[in-house]
Chain A
Amino acid sequence: MSRISAAFEDGPAFIPYLAAGDPNYEASLSYVEALERGGADVIELGLPFSEPIAEGPTIQSAIVRSLEGGMTPTRFFEFVEDLDVDVPLVCMTYYNLIYQFGDDEERGPEAFVRRAAEVGIDGFVVPDLPAEEADPLREACDAHDCELIFIVAPTTKGERLERIMSQVSGYVYVQARLGTTGARTDLSDQTDASLERIAEWDVPKAVGFGISSGDHAQRVIEAGADGVIVGSALVDIVAQGVERGDPPVTVANRLESKARELKEGALRGAPSDEQPHPERT
């Protein structure tokens, strides 16, 4: 069993996201480590691309901060090597960085995935790479025992679902609503419909886009998800720290306690053995 699959074995998984290197290399290392202390089961690490078309303003700003701090793919892999965490890591990035990675002798998915696997990356989410264009990356992932995680959107129906189901591994990223990433104060009924469409899939379902509180996390798990993905609500904490000039240790503590709130919310949503949740039977 892969490390990512194992992370879903003991109840609902909490999967936080941060942009690596936001707002700088050293602080970012401590922020990611704080997430693990707060209860992260898998961590998504953003490798920033200059044109993040799937991101909302919060994560876009994080990407700008990280790039201005000198983050590059090479530096990203060093970052992962320097990280002191024991949970599976997923690299979230855009396809052009994967496509360009390497040197004059070898460029592209194979070189990228090989290096990623070497430093301990377990899987990839590539928001601008639909299943139709994913073969080269899929092959590289298979060769290096990495997972390729795909997003299912509220608009994904019919044949597209089949196509994604045949390609996805690790977990399926269920996009809770249309639009870009960003924390919201409510949850969409698009989430329920999306989860229902893929209920039979033999892969854990993790819901992301818009989850910002323990209560949200609880409701998502109650709706049948196996995990929750939270990005913008955490990136907001980093951004506030930058704005107020808070010391990194303060920001790390806030991240840890936010992570704990989200993880506990997810756990509350899990059906207990005594009282199986009606929606999950």
Chain B
Amino acid sequence: MSSETGKFGEYGGQYVPEALMPAIEELEDAYERYVLNNEDGFMDDFRERLADFGGRPTPLQHAKRLSDRYDCDVYLKREDLLHGGAHKLNNALGQVLLAKYMGKERIIAETGAGQHGTATAMACAHLGMPCEVYMGRRDINRQRPNVFRMRLNGAEVNPVTVGRGTLKEAISETMRDWATNVEDTHYVIGSVVGPHPFPAMVRDFQRVISEEAREQIREKAGQLPDSVVTCAGGGSNTMGVFAEFVDDEDVGLYAVEAGGSSLEVNEEEGVAPNSATLSTGTEGVLHGSRTRVLQDRDGQIMESHSVSAGLDYAGVGPELADLTDRGRVTAVNVDDDRALEGFHRLSQLEGVIPALESAHAVAYVEAHHDELGDVVLLNVSGRGDKDLETVLEETHNRDIENAPDIDTFAATGGFQ
């Protein structure tokens, strides 16, 4: 490795097939030159596009009704208002632009909830790059609007049918494509996972969230937040909103994971009915880096679960794993039912329909606002339009206390 930056404590590294190593080294070089040193004005170009095409800066909204309910000041960082409806564009645009500067001719990506695939497809259309997105068949079924959006932007969507057909399988499949076409293709990894330099590079593209939020909250609240609360799957919005606060030791950083239906695991079946990797995972090597993963005692990776496709992943970013080990980040979790409550809470009290991912963070604030201090920064990582079908169905099947009555809707053919 050409630099020490590939490791976060014991985590990180580069565990990939030899065929990919030269591409990883090339990317490392490009990351240092263009992203860290702004060669050829790359970062200026990136920021200008984030503003004009992406709609940055996103607002920091004082959430009056939530604040009244919790008796503290809650500020929403509105990444749901970024073009495409989620924070994912920050990274996708950064990487597709970087690939262009590197002279690559083709983009591939994987996607879970479809937000990263959508963002990559949009960035590719914007920059005139051919794009193929791998997506698990199960995720295709539960995130159809995003599949259609990708196609509208000209991307090919390749269904992945192996395993359970979710993000973990899609990542493996995309790595295979990359190993075959590595010479002209860039793989836009969608989170702060994978081999170095991806975890650091994706964090740096997402860092804009906390750069803005830090300034905005100082202006609006006259102080830094007492706590920053956000959801954590792979960890890209998490690291994005934490990055500029890591050195502010007085700011509590809360990564809210998907507790799914239970934190217990079924070793026999190789299934974890949650995606709470920081809370319950163990150290291992997955998809190119050493990090925390959901695995059985032999090291076989478990199938994870979350009502939210975007959190449904058995790994997590190595930097987040290290920050959690060091006690700088507090890893917590919220189960599927509470997440649905959070979804309805934010929708009803603020008129903001959050992604099911973000709803986990809302639910944590709902249950723990007493411990979070007077000023809480809550990251709304994305909007919930993509989740409407899932939410209607899940709300109908469960007893969600604060859900609107949708039985009439259901009875009149709302569910096909």
Which A residues lie at the B interface, using CB under 8 A? 49-56, 60, 64, 67, 72-74, 94-97, 99-101, 127-130, 132-133, 150-157, 160, 164, 175, 178-180
Contact = CB atoms under 8 A, between A and B. Distances in A.
Judged by DSSP, the binding face of B is mixed
27 contacts: A50-B163, A72-B298, A73-B298, A73-B299, A95-B285, A96-B284, A96-B293, A97-B298, A97-B300, A99-B290, A128-B15, A128-B16, A129-B15, A130-B21, A133-B15, A151-B19, A153-B19, A153-B21, A154-B19, A155-B23, A155-B183, A164-B18, A175-B18, A178-B181, A179-B179, A180-B176, A180-B179
B17 A54 contact: yes
A51 B286 contact: yes
A51 B15 contact: no
B317 interface: no
B22 interface: yes
Contacts of A72: 298, 300
Contacts of B295: 96, 100
A100 B17 contact: no
B299 A56 contact: no
B175 interface: yes
Given A51-B172, A155-B183, A180-B180, A127 B17 contact: yes
Given A96-B286, A133-B13, A153-B17, A51 B22 contact: no
A132 B1 contact: yes
Contact of A51 (B290, B297, B301): B301
Nearest to B288: A128
A153 B17 CA distance: 9
Contacts of A97: 298-300
Among B13, B176, B286, B293, residue most surrounded by chain A Cβ atoms (within 10 Å): B176
B162 interface: yes
Interface of B: 1, 13-23, 25, 162-163, 168, 172, 175-176, 179-183, 270, 284-288, 290, 293, 295, 297-301
Nearest to A129: B15
A96 B285 contact: yes
B284 to A, nearest CB: 5
Contacts of A50: 163, 270, 300-301
Contacts of A51: 168, 172, 286-287, 301
Nearest to A127: B17
Contacts of A53: 16-17, 172, 175-176, 179, 287
A5 to B, nearest CB: 22
B183 to A, nearest CB: 7
A105 B109 CA distance: 40
A128 B17 contact: yes
Q: Which 6 residue pairs are nearest across A and B when measured between Cβ atoms?
A: A100-B299, A179-B180, A153-B19, A96-B285, A53-B175, A96-B299
Given A95-B285, A96-B285, A151-B19, 14 more contacts: A49-B300, A53-B172, A53-B176, A67-B300, A73-B298, A99-B284, A100-B295, A130-B18, A132-B13, A133-B14, A153-B19, A164-B18, A178-B183, A180-B180
Nearest to B25: A160
Contacts of A64: 162
Nearest to A209: B19
B14 A178 contact: no
Nearest to A132: B1
Contact of B172 (A52, A160, A179): A52
Contact of B179 (A94, A160, A178): A178
Nearest to A101: B299
Contacts of A94: 285
Contacts of A52: 172
A101 B23 CA distance: 30
Contacts of A96: 284-286, 293, 295, 299, 301
Contacts of A129: 15
Contact of B18 (A73, A95, A156): A156
A160 B22 contact: yes
A101 to B, nearest CB: 7
Contacts of A130: 14-16, 18, 21
Contacts of B21: 130, 132, 153, 155-156, 160
A150 B15 CA distance: 13
A150 B175 CA distance: 19
Nearest to A175: B19
Given A132-B1, A133-B13, A178 B299 contact: no
A162 to B, nearest CB: 13
With most chain A CB atoms within 10 A of its CB, the pick from B19, B25, B297 is: B19
Q: Which of A132, A164, A180 has the most CB of B within 10 A?
A: A132
Contacts of B290: 99
Contacts of A175: 18-19
A96 B293 CA distance: 10
A132 B270 CA distance: 31
Nearest to A154: B19
Nearest to A157: B22
Contact of A152 (B13, B18, B288): B18
Contacts of A101: 298-299
B17 A151 contact: yes
B313 to A, nearest CB: 12
Contacts of B284: 96, 99-100
A128 B19 CA distance: 10
A160 B24 CA distance: 12
Contacts of A152: 18
A155 B182 contact: yes
Contacts of B298: 72-74, 97, 100-101
